[in-house]
Structure 1
Amino acid sequence: MSTVDTIEHQISDSDFDHFTESLEKWSGIVISRSKKYLVAHRLEDLMAENGCQTLRQLVAKAGEIRHALLRKKIVDAMTTNETSWFRDVYPFDTLKRKLFRKYEELNGDAPIRIWSAACSTGQEPYGISISFQQYLSLESKHNSSGIEIIATDISPTALAAARMGVYDNLSMSRGCKASFREMYFTTDKNNVSTVRPEIKSFVNFKPLNLMDSYQSLGIFDVIFLRYVLIYFSDEAKKDIIHRISRRLKPGGALFLGSTESLVRHSDEFEMVKDGAGLYYQRKELLAG
C-alpha cells in the first residue's frame, strides 16, 4: 500500500470534515468527501515535512497563529490550476470585436482596466493582453489610451509561474495557435515559449484570496471571474459576486465560465448574449 493510500485509509470522516471546514474558512474552497484521495495525495509531502501523522494534526498545527505560512501552503496545495489559452474563445473575441472599442470611447485618455480574478498560471491575462494587441492591429490604431490588466490568484505557486511567463510545449498546445506563438512569444530549441515583454508589460500580478477585500484593486471596465465560483458554497458565491459588482463601473462587463451562471446568485447584472457566448453587464444603479 502506498503512502497516499495509507493516509487516505487513516482519514476518518470526522477528521476530513474538520479539514474541509478549516479549508473553507481559510480560502472559501469547498471539497466533498469523495475527494479524500485527492487531499491525501496533495498533502502527503506537507504532512511529512511538518511531522504530522494525521490530517487532524496538520490542521491543528496550521491553525496556530505562528503557522500562517503552513496555512498558505495547504491552500496552495488544494488549489486547482487547470487552465488553457483563450479558453472558450468567445470572451476574447468579444473583447476584440466590441468591448475594447466601447471602453476606449467611454474612458477617453484613461486606460481600459481589466481584472483577471483567479488567473492561475497566467494564460488568461496574457491572452487578454494579446487580444488587445490584435485589436490595435485590426483597428490600425497608432494612438491608444492603453490597457491595464490586474491578475490575481490565491496560489503563490501559480503566481510565480505566471510572472515568469514561460510555458512548455504541452501548455502551449492547449489553445495557442502556431501564428500566435510566433508573434507573441519567443521559443527556444526545446520548444519552451516565453511571453514577449510587450505582452507582459500590460499585466500586473498580485496575490489575492477572493474571500478578502477587493477595494485596493480599484474599479474596472471588465472582470474575468471564470471557472472559480464552482469551488465555493452558494453563500460565498453570492458574497463574492456582490463585492465583484462594486468593483465594476456601471455598464461594465463580467465574464464567467461557459458552464457558470448568475442565476440565484445575483440580480445586479443583466445578461448580454453576444455571438457564440454571453457576458453579464453591471446595472447602472445598484441597491444598497
Structure 2
Amino acid sequence: MDIQSLFALALQDGKVKIKDANQLLEVIDFSEVASITDLRLAIESIGRVDLFPSEKSWNFALNIDEQNAKHGIRSFSIVSDGYPKHLKAIDNAPLVLHVRGSVRILQEINGIAVVGSRKISKAGAVIAHRIAKQAVERDWIVVSGLALGVDAEAHKGALAGGKPAATIAVLAHGLEKAKPATNALLGQEILDNGGAWVSEHPVGTPAKPPYFVQRNRIQLGLSVGSIIVEAEEKSGSITQAKFCVQQKRPLYAVIPESIDNPFGMVCSGTLMLVHKMGANPLRNKDDYPEMFERFERQKMLMQSL
C-alpha cells in the first residue's frame, strides 16, 4: 500500500474530519515523502501537526495492509493513482477505496448501476437480468451491490453477457468474503470473470444498516447513471436514485406497461421516481435503445471532463 493510503487509513482511525483529511491529502506532495518521518515533517511545515495520527492509528493502518495481503485486497486513498477519477468527482467521495479483483475495470468510465429491491417479482428478475445482459453486450460494465433480489439478477445477467470484466459489486462491509452467504458463489464468479468487489470499509468491518445506504453513492460514482428495476417507496434503492438526481446523472426506473400491473411488479417506489423525481420510465424493452444512447452521451461528457 502506498504511503498516502496508509496515511488516509490512519486519519480515518483517528476520527479526523473528512474535510481536514481531504485537505491534507491534497496539499502534501507525496512524491517528496518516502517515510512516516518525512510525512510528519511535511505536516509540520503546513502547521497541522495536530492532525498527525497516533501510534495506535498508524498500527491500525499497517495491520490493514497486512490483512489485505492475505485476501488479495488493495487500498487506494483519494489521491492515489488507482482511485477512479469519476468516483472522486462525486459529492462525499470515500477517502479510501478497497478493491478485490480487477483494479483496471474501475478506471473505465463505463459503468451502469442496475439496482433495486431485495423483494423481487418474477417479472422483475427477468427484467434485471435482461437489462444487465444487454448492457454488457453493448460493452458496458454493470455495477450493483450483490444483495438478494435485483442486485443478484443484475450480476447474473452481466455474467451471462459472455464478456470478461463485466460487473462490479459494491459491498457494505470488508472484502474478506462476500455477503450474504447465499451469494458467495456469485461473488466468486464475479472475481473469476475479471470483475471486482469494492468497499469503503477496510477488511474485517462487519455490515451495518447505515453502510448499505452509504454504499449507494459509490455505486453511482462508478457509473454514468442508474437503473432502478424494482423498489418500494422506502427501499434503500431510493437513496441511490436521490443521489443520482443530485449528481445530475441519468436516472431510469422500470414501471409496469399498464396501470393494472398485470405481472405484479414491485413498483410503488419506481412509480414515485418517475412521477415525483423526474426519472425516465422504462416500460418495456423498446425503451432500452434510447436509454443506452443517453448513457453513451453521459459517458462522453464525463470523459471530456
TM-score if structure 2 supplies the norm length?
0.34
TM-score (norm 1): 0.35
Higher strand share: 1
